[in-house]
Structure 1
């Protein structure tokens, strides 16, 4: 299997970091925009879309700032890939952005970016953010 390529995307969001954190770190928040349903048991999260589901391990989180997950399938294969959603606040303008870090196969990077665009668009819709 080819090595996956790391990519990062930034999305400006008009919402408070505290509210945003609820949507990126809790099963109920994630199920409003990221997946159809999300369950968690400790650090294990199950993301459900239509008839498929993926399990991920919560690697780290920092309240009000970021969450980092690893898909269990990657962990079982011995890979250290992860996806991270980080809240960034500009010190001067106080503008809020979400920074997404993820990995994809070389020929799937554009598709993965489009998927994140769609996911974040759903999140903005839920938040009422333009």
Structure 2
């Protein structure tokens, strides 16, 4: 079944751009909220994400430092990815975190709920 792209956006309050960037792009940041453990193969730039006894590997396919990072799961289609994008709101100065991901139509709601719970954990870790 074809996966559908979806976007969700989160207000990140008083979190700084650099602290958010660390959470979405660095091994130590990702392991605080996204996965139980994150490692990286330096030679191939492959990230290994571990949740309990389950593992998945991803590579960075696009990066613009302090702005956005796009990962692709190695076992997914070439055109399927997940992306984090940081944006500062002009009026309030607050940061937003925009997530783009893909899910099968009947799993989209569950995927959004999972992202919401993970971002809540990130906010808790950042004290937002």
Q: TM-score range by the shorter chain?
A: over 0.9
SS state at 1:117 partner: helix
SS state at 1:32 partner: helix
Give 1:124 deviation, angstroms.
0.3
> Mapping of 1:37-116 within 5 angstroms?
37-42=37-42, 43-74=45-76, 78-116=77-115
Q: Residue 19 in 1 paired to residue 14 in 2?
A: no
Give 1:91 deviation, angstroms.
2.2
Instruction: Verify the 8 A CA contact 2:72 2:78 in the aligned structure 1.
Output: no
Give 1:72 deviation, angstroms.
0.4
Distance (Å, rounded) in 1 between the aligned partners of 2:117 and 2:63: 23
Where in structure 2 are there 5+ consecutive unaligned residues? none
TM-score relative to the length of structure 2: 0.94
Which segments of structure 1 move beyond 4 Å, counting only runs of 4 or more? none
SS state at 1:124 partner: helix
The Cα RMSD (Å) is 0.9
TM-score relative to the length of structure 1: 0.93
Give 1:94 deviation, angstroms.
1.1
Where in structure 1 are there 5+ consecutive unaligned residues? none
> Mapping of 1:2-17 within 5 angstroms?
2-14=1-13, 15-17=15-17
